[in-house]
Amino acid sequence: MNVISTNDHKNRQELEKIVGEGNVQPWDEIESVRQQQIIQSLTPGTTIQGIIYPQTQEELAQVIAYTHQQQLSVLPCGFCSKIDWGGLIKNVDFAVSTERMNQLIEHAVGDLTITVEAGMKFSQMQAILAQENQVVGFDPTYPELATIGGIIATGDTNFLRQRYRSIRDLILGISIVRYDGKIAKAGGRVVKNVAGYDLMKLFTGSYGTLGIISQITLRVYPQAEFSGTVILTGEPEAIAQANQTLLSSALTPVSVDLISTNLSKLLGFGDKISLVVQFQSIPESVQQQSQRLMEVGETLGLKAIYFDFDQANLWQQLKQQIWQSQSNASILCKIGVTPTSAVKTLMQCQTLGVIHAGVGLGVLRFESVSPETLLNLRNWCQSQGGFLSILKAPVELKQQLEVWGYSGNALNLMRQIKKQFDPQNQLSPNRFVGGI
């Protein structure tokens, strides 16, 4: 139980003047599941006073202005679904949640844009877009819980990368609250407006270390009329050849994913590595493209399976196997390799894994693994021009290993950017690369 000091009590009183009674939740009143999520994000011995829930962008700005003036550090979050991703946070006083900032600002149906507050859940935005037969081009982890701000802050794009690329390519406008409580904006609500391009990219994957995202404008797309999925399974060399043939062809899949042998077994595809490809268009186009890919597979001696009307269930199962675990000890890693090394990399990993074949980014999940095994896999990924970062893991493991495994030459530049955006290191201290 946290000991409540005079300063703690004063802080809560002042913050309640800003956000209203009931919108500052002391630590002891936070539900146990959320407490555990937060504990998994903190360095042992670090405690927080509670969670602050602003309900508007203006309240958020006033909260951050107050914490800055009082030299209090904060942990920005949405619904806390990915709060334990990344490095262990040190010396933080409050979590600041945007989950009560969840309003639709504007849905410009004809312009194919939507503007929402950062705390809106992905599932809520999906429902709004579905009424107009529209979609966004990303499918985040934990879609029922993830907020739009949290998705952007963690760069959480996943399976639709082949067609829509990264989420940072879908942001048309962004508003953020700076370390001192001032509001900054970039971009706009019109697709052709490219002002603020760099700022929108900078905040994607920044893990709350540069500012707090408060409002976002996204590009949206018409809902495809029909979807179909082809699965090719077989020997690694043949899968690699099929993947190369597909990526160099005129076919236009929305998802191209290599899945590990272990994951293929769980999904009932057999005991070989698999290539899972989704097409979306009019029925005739989907069927024709699927047939051409299956012919490629048959030529290479691969087993081909086609899903159409039940393919949504297939993708749901695939995502659940990767993202959901009943064990608090499970380890989730993000990896990147050159696309030509993707098959070899999955064959190195005796675990559940998926790599988005067109870009070489993917995810591995272990129920248990030694630090030595993770280091060996990291060395392999780096030898293939890539990386391995630990997103989610027990605190003890994160204390033993450098979470991000960054080996590039931009760390000094990152620190300069951090100093410019958060000179007193009050936002998510130690969560990012190099202790940023």
pLDDT digits (tens, 9 = 90+) for 407-418: 889 999 999 999
Question: What pLDDT, in 10s, does the model give residues 171-198?
Answer: 999 999 999 999 999 887 544 443 444 7
The DSSP bridge partners found for residue 113 are 108, 219
Question: What pLDDT, in 10s, does the model give residues 10-44?
Answer: 999 999 999 999 999 999 999 999 999 999 999 99
What pLDDT, on a 0 to 100 scale, did the predictor assign at position 312?
86
Please, are residues 427 and 73 in contact by the beta-carbon 8 Å criterion? yes
Beta strand 50-52 with 94-97: parallel, antiparallel or unpaired?
A: parallel
Element holding 396 (H helix, E strand): helix 395-400
Residue 88 DSSP one-character state: P
| pTM of the predicted model over 0.85 | yes
Q: Please, which residues have CB within 8 angstroms of residue 90's CB and are 6 or more apart in sequence?
A: 42, 43, 46, 429, 430
The residue to which tokens 């499918």 are assigned: 139
Question: What pLDDT, in 10s, does the model give residues 203-259?
Answer: 999 999 999 999 999 999 999 999 999 999 999 999 999 999 999 999 999 999 999
Please, are residues 147 and 121 in contact by the beta-carbon 8 Å criterion? yes
Query: Domains plus CATH for the chain?
Result: 6-99 (3.30.43.10), 104-222 (3.30.465.10), 226-320 (3.30.70.2190), 325-400 (3.30.70.250)
Structure token digits, residue 100: 């009560």
3-state helix, strand, coil in the chain (%, to 5): 35, 25, 40
- pLDDT over 60 (residue 85): yes
Q: What is the mean pLDDT of residues 250-277?
A: 96
User: Which residue has better confidence, 131 or 328?
Assistant: 131
Structure token digits, residue 195: 């002002």
With cut-offs at 50, 70 and 90, classify the pLDDT of residue 8.
confident
What pLDDT, on a 0 to 100 scale, did the predictor assign at position 194?
39
Q: How far apart are CA 142 and CA 319, in angstroms?
A: 9
Element holding 392 (H helix, E strand): strand 387-392
Q: What is the mean pLDDT of residues 331-354?
A: 94
Question: What pLDDT, in 10s, does the model give residues 371-397?
Answer: 999 999 999 999 999 999 999 999 999
Beta strand 255-259 with 387-392: parallel, antiparallel or unpaired?
A: unpaired
Q: What single letter denotes the amino acid at residue 264?
A: S
Closest CA to 142 of 368, 332, 348: 332
What pLDDT, on a 0 to 100 scale, did the predictor assign at position 309?
81
User: Which residue has better confidence, 222 or 1?
Assistant: 222
Beta strand 352-356 with 331-336: parallel, antiparallel or unpaired?
A: unpaired
